Amino acid sequence: MKLNISLNRFFLLFAASLLSLQFAFAQESKKDKKEEKIAEIESLVQSKDFVFIAQNAYPATGRNINLTTTYAVRLSSDTVVTDLPYFGRAYVAPMNPSEGGIHFTSTKFSYITKERKKGGWDITILPNDTKDVRQMFLTVSQDGYATLQVLSNNRQNISFNGYITSKSKSR
């Protein structure tokens, strides 16, 4: 009888120790994954080679709009390709109705990165060879979530929420 009780206690302690070890390893792997994600996002920002995927649009007036189609800004060291929708007031309407939205390819642009105090990055993109878009501000968190604000010459400002990813993962 005594042997049976001590054997039960042994198995109970053994199971509890295994369970606590499992939680300890899970915490370490979670921390390691977060550090890997931060390093990946930092390398994408520094390399100037990533894709911003827009998930929500926030016009200057009106409600936010959930985007169901993939809209993106593809950035490489020598080119910015922008394919975003536009919702809001345009001060000058395009002659061709199919030219709505924010669509351009720029090879002459400035890319300025500034690290934020509490982690993340502020990126300013100044396209010099587009007629409508004046500036684009991209705020990226360490987790890869991002907010893009587009300032135009002939339209109200618009913002987009989304995330950045590598070009290979966006396809």
CATH of the domain at 65: 2.40.128.410
Domain of residue 48 covers 44-170
Is 5 within the bounds of a domain? no
pLDDT of residue 159: 95
* DSSP SS3 for 62: coil
Is 130 within the bounds of a domain? yes
Is 146 within the bounds of a domain? yes
At 56, phi and psi to the nearest 5? -135, 145
For residue 2, pLDDT beyond 60: no
Count structural domains, the chain: 1
Claim: this prediction has a pTM higher than 0.85: no
Is 30 within the bounds of a domain? no
Residue 133: strand pairing partners: 152
Q: Are 158 and 88 in contact (CB under 8 A)?
A: yes
Is 140 within the bounds of a domain? yes
Is 165 within the bounds of a domain? yes
Q: Are 123 and 113 in contact (CB under 8 A)?
A: yes
For the stretch 121-143, pLDDT in tens is 999 999 998 888 889 999 999 99
Is 67 within the bounds of a domain? yes
